[in-house]
């Protein structure tokens, strides 16, 4: 089996996404690129996360053509391949439906930077792109445009997407986004939350980027 280790890791993190509430049932998707071959390991379409194993993860090339795998790759594969093709600094793309981030996506309200560690990896307020049917190349183009050089993006009336240099860091960014949205929602019921100053967010993000360097695992 090609890329057995990376496929096992994608299956493991897909299960973690489900177990930690980032997605439910068969929602969401996850990919990771092998930096050496450039091949991409992506979750299969309509996967039951509880049953996923390394063999279920589909290997596609940079254009999304299946190289090895027994299932169809995620319907969002055009998005994964396009983002990975355009960003040399990322190797993973994760799409979630986490509840509080999705609430912000329904409100079209940016997720503000209120927590130091979350701000370090998110790098700035997380914007929402306009609603559009996902799964198409056109959607992938719009998402890439809206994401820019950022690490997180909300999809209007849909959910969230995060990108990162490794599976572990991407998973951590997804939780940083969800925790920020959740804590903001709680804090806003108690009073007026205080946002971190933009220059402090920039400083924290620069530190975060320097701390992982070129590490990809």
Cross-strand partners of 41: 32, 59
DSSP 32: E
Please, what is the minimum distance in Å from the beta carbon of residue 153 to Zn ion? 12
* Helix-helix angle 77-86:137-147, to 10 degrees: 40
Is 3 or 160 the residue whose CB approaches Zn ion more closely? Answer: 160
Q: Is 76 a catalytic residue?
A: yes
Nearer to Zn ion, 53 or 157 (CB): 157
* Residue sitting closest to Zn ion (CB): 159
Smallest distance, Zn ion to C-beta of residue 25, A: 11
Choose the catalytic residue: 55, 63, 68, 76.
76
**Which residues of the shown chain bind Zn ion in the complex (CB under 5 A)?**
159
Q: Nearest to residue 34, comparing CAs of 76, 54, 62?
A: 62
Nearer to Zn ion, 94 or 122 (CB): 94
Rounded Cα–Cα distance for residues 34 and 216 (Å): 9
Determine the Cα–Cα distance for residues 150 and 198; give it in Å rounded to an integer. 15
Question: SS3 helix, strand, coil % of the chain, rounded to 5?
Answer: 45, 15, 40
CA distances in angstroms from 22 to 55, 138, 195, listed in the order given:
23, 25, 24
CB-based contact 33:86 (threshold 8 Å) = no
Shorter beta-carbon distance to Zn ion: residue 67 or 103: 103
Active-site annotation, residues: 76
């Amino acid at each position: 089996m090609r890329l057995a280790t990376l496929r096992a890791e994608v299956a493991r993190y897909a299960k973690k996404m489900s177990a930690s509430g980032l997605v439910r049932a068969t929602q969401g998707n996850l990919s990771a690129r092998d930096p050496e071959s450039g091949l991409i390991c992506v979750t299969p379409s309509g996967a039951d996360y509880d049953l996923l194993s390394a063999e279920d993860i589909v290997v596609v090339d940079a254009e999304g053509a299946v190289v090895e795998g027994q299932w169809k790759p995620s319907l969002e594969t055009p998005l994964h391949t396009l983002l990975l093709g355009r960003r040399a600094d990322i190797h993973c793309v994760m799409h979630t439906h986490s509840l509080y981030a999705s609430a912000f996506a329904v409100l079209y309200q940016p997720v503000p930077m209120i927590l130091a560690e979350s701000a370090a990896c998110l790098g700035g307020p997380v914007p929402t792109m306009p609603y559009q049917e996902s799964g198409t190349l056109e959607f992938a183009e719009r998402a890439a445009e809206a994401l820019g050089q950022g690490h997180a993006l909300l999809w209007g009336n849909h959910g969230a997407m995060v990108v990162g240099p490794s599976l572990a860091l991407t998973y951590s960014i997804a939780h940083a986004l969800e925790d920020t949205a959740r804590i903001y929602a709680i804090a806003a019921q108690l009073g007026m939350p205080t946002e971190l100053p933009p220059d402090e967010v920039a400083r924290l993000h620069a530190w975060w980027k320097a701390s992982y360097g070129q590490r990809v695992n």
